[in-house]
Structure 1
Amino acid sequence: MNLPQLKVKDLQQIDTARFTRFIQNQMAAMPHLNNPKQLAIALASKYIKLKDQPKLTQSVILGKEVRSSDQNKVVQLPTLIQNNYIYFLGTGNNHQVVQRVLSKRNEWISTNNKNDSFINFRWQQTQKGYQYDRLLPGNKSKSILNHFEFHSEISQKSNLFRNLSQYCEVYPNLNRKINQIF
């Protein structure tokens, strides 16, 4: 992927909240760029943050410190949202509450692309399915789900009853350790 080239003298300072609002507005205006990281690369020359600022700092300046003597040096800009997190919310499962909480946090950016490999947090109903094989240990981006694989074995009453019955058959003295609950 080719990153935009920008001269150091063109860098400007912004605050994190302003940058986040800008990205969200641009995402709404440019639906063909449904991946926030692609959008950030496309808009990299507009909003940049210098290295002495928090939040987006390390994701913006690549390489050594910027000095005034480097005015004509050309630097490559990595993805501007590298230090932010991307989340996907499916419908249902009380997603409005999660949306309200995450929308108040500047470091979280929503995406509508449920197949994005850069999603850090996914909130969706499991009846629509999730490919757990995407959560490979070698994957560089961290991902969090609101369910775990094979959760239906304990979250559905019939499966829970079946599993507990089988467990009691294997361990008949279970009542000595666990009180009966009716």
Structure 2
Amino acid sequence: MKKVLCLLAASMILLSCGKDDGPVITHEMGSWDLDSFILTNLPAEYSNNEGRIFLVNQISFGGLVFESYEITFNSDLTYERSVGVPGPDIKDNGTWELDGDDLILMSEDADQEEEYRVEQNEDDQLWWSIESQFSLVKDAIADTITQEYIDTLTDEEFFDLFDAVSVDLVYAFERQ
């Protein structure tokens, strides 16, 4: 009888250890709309642009401009994303993971994961960032250049004023 009770107790312990604890509940869960982009962590000679805010449709990614960006994080650690662009929207599904301050998105359609750093995660705000290259004009040039001078430049001379600068590009989301 003691052997039977011991086996029953051991099996109950094993069953309770293997039992699913249910869905994960975190602040990130739910639906989010991208409100704007923010430039942060700029080199000193480009600091005039620190904290500069761009609306969703003001930045081009390889010639592609976002019209909207929505993402939903589900409790089963899956996500659905829809990015509005000229033409058909880009739809994407996959899994997500929050590892400390790192948000990792693993798309069903892509071979590599996207990793973002969570910058703000409170109330109805979710901000994440990724290191990115941005075309900027040095502060010393921007502070002294005039529109009259710019009007005299060829397109090539104008684009030569810009440098590729490594920045943190913050995606600022608001809860739907």
Q: Which has the higher contact order (CA 8 A, sep 6+)?
A: 2
Q: Which structure shows the higher strand fraction?
A: 2
Q: Which structure shows the higher helix fraction?
A: 1
TM-score using structure 1 length: 0.20
TM-score using structure 2 length: 0.21
